Chains A and B, each alone.
Chain A
């Protein structure tokens, strides 16, 4: 299964641990979509940070995704919901680590 598929699955299942394991030790996640609603972008760094960050987001239902479509080995479209604010988003694995993990994941409005 491709990394982008595993990423989407983890997001859909709201599984912060599974999500965190996709990232390299220096991996980062940046989501610029909240800026469209006047909020700062989301940023999480490192597997442990990504686990804790999304544990909070998922448990309080601050964030979830629906209707994902994988369009390549590195990209997926989905609807992202930020505290009730819906946005069409595109997630892109911009860089892989040499061990094949996600080094840099960027999500932007689509």
Chain B
């Protein structure tokens, strides 16, 4: 049995991922803001460093999998939090735990979003985020200063920043995937559709109305969102050795929404 780290595992998709992995007999460490095995704020450098240090202390021989799932919606009203948690909370943690994944030939799965295909991402900000791993790039703090100038009371701005972070995540995964795989570590991303989670349950009425415009073909004729376990099952598959041939993949797990809206984009 393996050792798996799941962020955002106290509820929603992450919670189901923890549950399924534990039911399979694995040792699973849930990293979340509260009600977790490691309570930490992944939106901060201190929180991420604490998690990286703690996991190294607990599992010096390596880990089998990392599922970066922690995130907030575009309707959370805090643009800086969207960027620092959704993007840096995944990318910097994955970089910090890469050596442990490498020790065991492990795998990483990052949760993106099917909204990445709908054209709302800001390309300029995606570039800033993706280049932020280089020494000459803007720091996280500098990018957050740019973001704080935007109108956080505008829901479409929040959505755009959310999509931007998820797009940047998916592109980061694609960019590093070849090198990581050559070092024995696979990395993939899932792009869920609208899922019934604590995050979507607290959305405003207008945000919920926007969800209705993104039909989920497998739930046609109902108002139902995707179930968290629909996504978690795919995450568990991708992070497992069964998915050995899958690397650098952005897997849409949205009940067919992306295919519905973008059927002509085969690749």
Contact = CB atoms under 8 A, between A and B. Distances in A.
Interface of A: 40-45, 48-49, 51-53, 55-56, 59-60
A43 B263 contact: yes
Interface of B: 210, 212-215, 217, 220, 260-265
B114 to A, nearest CB: 12
Nearest to B265: A40
Given A40-B265, A48-B220, A53 B260 contact: yes
B261 A53 contact: yes
B18 to A, nearest CB: 32
B261 A56 contact: yes
A59 B220 contact: no
Nearest to B216: A52
Contacts of B212: 55, 59
Contact of A52 (B210, B220, B262, B265): B220
Interface centre among A51, A56, A60 (most CB of B within 10 A): A56
B113 to A, nearest CB: 16
A59 B123 CA distance: 24
A58 to B, nearest CB: 8
A56 B217 CA distance: 12
A56 B214 contact: yes
A52 B260 contact: yes
The 3 nearest A-B residue pairs measured at CB: A52-B215, A40-B264, A59-B213
A59 B215 CA distance: 11
Given A40-B265, A48-B220, A52-B220, A60 B260 contact: no
A18 B220 CA distance: 16
Contacts of B260: 44, 49, 52-53, 56
27 contacts: A40-B262, A40-B265, A41-B264, A42-B264, A44-B263, A45-B263, A48-B217, A48-B220, A49-B260, A51-B215, A52-B215, A52-B217, A52-B220, A52-B260, A53-B215, A53-B260, A55-B212, A55-B215, A56-B213, A56-B215, A56-B260, A56-B261, A59-B210, A59-B212, A59-B213, A60-B210, A60-B213
Nearest to B266: A40
A44 B215 CA distance: 13
A49 B263 CA distance: 11
A48 to B, nearest CB: 5
Contacts of B263: 43-45
A39 to B, nearest CB: 9
A87 to B, nearest CB: 17
Contacts of A48: 217, 220
Nearest to B209: A59
A70 B111 CA distance: 48
B264 A43 contact: yes
A76 B260 CA distance: 25
Contacts of A41: 264
A49 B262 contact: no
Contacts of A55: 212-213, 215
Nearest to A35: B264
A47 B71 CA distance: 36
B212 to A, nearest CB: 7
Interface centre among B212, B217, B263, B265 (most CB of A within 10 A): B263
A80 B51 CA distance: 53
A53 B220 CA distance: 12
Contacts of B261: 53, 56
A45 B264 CA distance: 12
Given A43-B263, A55-B212, 10 more contacts: A44-B263, A45-B263, A48-B217, A49-B217, A51-B215, A52-B217, A53-B260, A56-B260, A59-B210, A60-B210
